[in-house]
Every structure is written in C-alpha cells, then in structure tokens.
Chains A and B, each alone.
Chain A
Amino acid sequence: DTGVSQDPRHKITKRGQNVTFRCDPISEHNRLYWYRQTLGQGPEFLTYFQNEAQLEKSRLLSDRFSAERPKGSFSTLEIQRTEQGDSAMYLCASSQGVSNEKLFFGSGTQLSVL
C-alpha cells in the first residue's frame, strides 16, 4: 500500500531562505490538497488541485507561497523568503472522485524557521 508520501520529513531553515516541499499522492487520486497545522490547531487549508489545475487557494496564503502540480501527479509547495511564522507542519492529502470524502494524508513536513 503506497500511501501519500512527503519529502522531507523535517526542514530547518534560516529566516529569508526559500524552501520547497514535495508530495506524492496515491497514484490514482486526482485531487490533491495542501494544509498547514500548528500546535493545538486543526489543519488549515492552503490550496487544492484537481489533476494539474489549481482550483482553489486560501486567502490566507501570501504571495510568498506557491504550489504546482505540473503533470497531475506529484506536487510541490514552495515558500519564498521564509518567516518565523511559517514554522508549522505542512500536510499533503489526496482523494479520488468527485466528493470531498476520505482525505488520505501524508506524514507531513515539519518546517522550523530560525
């Protein structure tokens, strides 16, 4: 069972640096989501892809954040000029079909900005 995989598991960076995370969804899943989670909070929606099209993006997502899913398979999330407030767990999830049901989450990438 190849679930959703994310890389890296942990990333420590200095403020002002750029970082990029990768997500490989379950192979037959056409829907891919990025969420961000901080301690004591639920996952916060960032963006959503259906195949290669980015169909929704949170208003909370600043222009320093960009996500791509070029061939409708894996996705990348880039954060430019990182800030300490970007420190969080970045979760990727995928699902199949037309409904919002049953998101399968990856283990996440824990970002620490020093």
Chain B
Amino acid sequence: RKEVEQDPGPFNVPEGATVAFNCTYSNSASQSFFWYRQDCRKEPKLLMSVYSSGNEDGRFTAQLNRASQYISLLIRDSKLSDSATYLCVVPPGGGNKLTFGTGTQLKVEL
C-alpha cells in the first residue's frame, strides 16, 4: 500500500455543488494531517490542518477516520476559484518527511 493515496480526478463539478475527496494513508502512527491547495504552475499552500476532532473553515470541512486510515475534504457551495489540485499530506510517525499524495484535481464549471 502506498504511503498516501488519492484519486487524481479530475472532478468536474458545477458551481454551487458539494464535492468530497478522500485520501488514504498507510502509517497508523501518523498523528496530524494536512490538506494543501496547489494552483496550476504555482507552489502548494496550506489549506487546512486535520486533527482527530476534524476541522471546519467556512465552506471547507476536513475529517479524519483513524480506524479506516483516511482523511476527507468536503467543499460546499463550490466556487470557480476553488478549481485547483488538492494535496493530502501525511507526516511520518517519526522523522521529518512530510509525504504528499499525488493530488486530486478539481474543476468547478459554470
């Protein structure tokens, strides 16, 4: 099993739709997780941290399912500006290597 796995998409959704992405991870010792957003030809930027209690920020909700070893990102009321690649990031149980998933591409359309 890969350390971090994501469906590469693309997910094509109409504006206003709700969309959810999952990310599975293999290291059960990992404690905290992150979602980064990467626009085309730009650097990744932190979107949200994901802790055991989950996290909500406006239209974005991130949740952790430790038993099944996956994290999710839910985007409500999608905007055109949400079009980007969403990268799941998993720290190791020890060490410093943050492992990025391949990313899920989202395209929000009119």
Counting chain B CB atoms within 10 Å of each CB, which of A31, A50, A108 scores highest?
Answer: A108
List of B residues within 8 angstroms of A33 by Cβ? 96, 98
Q: Cβ of A108: which chain B residues have Cβ within 8 Å of it? A: 43
Closest to B103 in A: A42
Q: Count residues of chain B with CB under 8 A from any CB of chain A.
A: 22
Q: What band does the interface of chain A fall in when counting residues whose beta carbon is under 8 Å from B?
A: 20 to 34
Given the interface pairs A42-B101, A42-B103, A100-B91, the reply to whether A106 lies near B96 with Cβ below 8 Å is no
A48 to B95, CA, bound (A): 10
Is B8 at the interface (CB under 8 A from chain A)? yes
Question: In the complex, what residue of chain B is closest to A107 when comparing beta carbons?
Answer: B43
Indicate if the CB atoms of B96 and A101 lie closer than 8 Å. Answer: no
Interface string of B10-53 (1 = CB under 8 A from A): 00000000000000000000001010000000111110010000
A-B contact count (CB 8 A): 54
Considering the complex, give the chain A residue whose CB is closest to the CB of B96. A48
Q: How far is the CA of A7 from the CA of B44 in the complex (A)?
A: 17
Query: Given A50, A100, A106, which contacts B98 in the complex, CB threshold below 8 Å?
Result: A100
Query: Whole-angstrom distance between the alpha carbons of A41 and B87 in the complex?
Result: 10
Q: A43-B100, A56-B95, A56-B97 are in contact. List 17 more A-B contacts (CB 8 A).
A: A31-B96, A40-B8, A41-B103, A42-B4, A42-B87, A42-B103, A48-B96, A55-B96, A56-B96, A91-B43, A100-B96, A101-B32, A101-B34, A102-B46, A105-B43, A105-B45, A106-B43
Task: List the interface of chain A (C-beta within 8 A of B).
Answer: 31, 33, 35, 40-45, 48, 50, 55-56, 58, 91, 99-103, 105-108
